[in-house]
Chain A
């Protein structure tokens, strides 16, 4: 398959991109608003072309443990779900991080807590960047704001996951999953051969060779001294990721007196709010974290002395705002505007919040 320009939903783009980047396996369980990922894969039947495995597991818990198995053998494997389903996966995600396994997880967030609604939300920010599962671990978290980024971040997520032997997650929401946009799909990359997997993943359980010790995939280490050494190794890796992998986008920030900080769908709506505010003569720029972890702390801190105020807009009650406040460390006013439970604000609401909470 060559490069192709098409119109499709964000969820469909995830499925196409997974096949085209040479993924070996997808394991999932349907849930709105991301069911089109599994549906599209089933329709495309990649097992007949690239040999990619697609399996509807009996539950989200089973799916994440199938990912653990596939990743342990060095395969490029992934799962996707939406908020309640991702909660079910948390034990497996902690184990994947503890066993230092590369994989890709996709969360197309919906309103919570509990079963909540099926409409868009960003209330799983804390779950994604502050833990979710137990233990001191981090996920490389990518927040797409377009259907194109849904496609692009599949390959990027796998690349970073394998580079650092760490799970990566795409944190999207119902808006990005359900909307259709123009997307350029990359040309088909072949899946890696068994020999390439063995060469690129010397740590993986690929069959015991005579001349090396067995590779054991586990997160268990009963000796605390050894477990502390493992944890220190994880922490060193996390610092390296924080140093090298921060990604963010800035629009109209050069002359900005005020800043909107938002991720994913809210960054798109915030961008329109910025356009409307600029028509009124308000000099506002927008900073969009693309990686939620590692967070663009330094980039945001640099604005603390430059702008008069920062509005953080999220589809939650105030989660990323904590990381923004840590970044600016009290030097500038930071306020929050959010809608909850699946309600998505329109751009006017953000302009009003900017005027009332920040400018006054």
Chain B
């Protein structure tokens, strides 16, 4: 098993931390993982993306030309990465951030209205976990149990009371995701 994933959006949307939680969950399952951010003098509102690879075998390049799954959270990222999804791969986008939806017919496109759901939950910070839930519904790369273990590892102790909320957000995302 090998999953090559790009997560891209605005800085501040939790792109990097979503990738980190996914990578940590992979580690909990005893898999090989690589998390490679496009780092730069970036800030809230700028673009941010991270490549996450979860694999049974040793991983070669942390930088890729094509992806099995793309999680796209704003329009500039869609323009940059739609063409880089492997034929037959999946593209997930948040309805709130995308004005012109993806057009490719050789990939599976899914929409998740995570921003709206996060607002309904009165918790903008749940956004990235809702999106992660959507991905895990389609590609169960890691189990929910190991995501929770990953959260325990990545979150400082003082934030551990937020873990049930994150679990709820992931389950919400699993319900919300739908094929376009």
Contact = CB atoms under 8 A, between A and B. Distances in A.
Interface of A: 5-7, 33, 118-119, 174-175, 178-182, 265, 268-276, 344-349
A7 B23 contact: yes
Contact of B62 (A175, A345, A349): A175
Given A7-B27, A178-B36, A347 B65 contact: yes
A6 B64 CA distance: 24
Interface pairs A-B: 10 shortest CB-CB: A272-B61, A271-B60, A348-B65, A180-B35, A346-B65, A272-B60, A179-B36, A269-B61, A7-B27, A268-B61
Main secondary structure of the interface of A (DSSP, over half): helix
A346 B64 contact: yes
B21 to A, nearest CB: 10
B39 A33 contact: yes
Contact of B34 (A6, A119, A179): A179
Contacts of A175: 36, 62-63
A220 to B, nearest CB: 43
Given A7-B24, A265-B63, A269-B62, 17 more contacts: A7-B27, A118-B41, A119-B40, A179-B37, A179-B62, A181-B62, A268-B62, A268-B63, A269-B60, A269-B61, A271-B61, A272-B61, A345-B63, A346-B64, A347-B61, A347-B63, A349-B65
Nearest to B62: A179
A273 B23 CA distance: 23
A6 B27 CA distance: 8
B27 A5 contact: yes
A178 B63 contact: no
A85 B59 CA distance: 31
A23 B41 CA distance: 32
Interface in B25-83: 27, 32-37, 39-41, 59-66
B2 to A, nearest CB: 11
B172 interface: no
Contacts of A180: 20, 23, 33-36
A271 B66 CA distance: 15
A175 B62 CA distance: 8
Contacts of B32: 181-182
28 contacts: A7-B33, A118-B39, A119-B40, A175-B63, A178-B37, A178-B39, A179-B35, A179-B62, A180-B33, A180-B34, A180-B36, A181-B33, A181-B35, A181-B59, A181-B62, A182-B32, A268-B60, A268-B62, A270-B61, A271-B60, A272-B60, A272-B61, A275-B60, A345-B63, A347-B61, A347-B65, A348-B65, A349-B65
Contacts of A33: 39
A28 B172 CA distance: 46
B39 A174 contact: yes
Contacts of B65: 276, 346-349
A78 B108 CA distance: 51
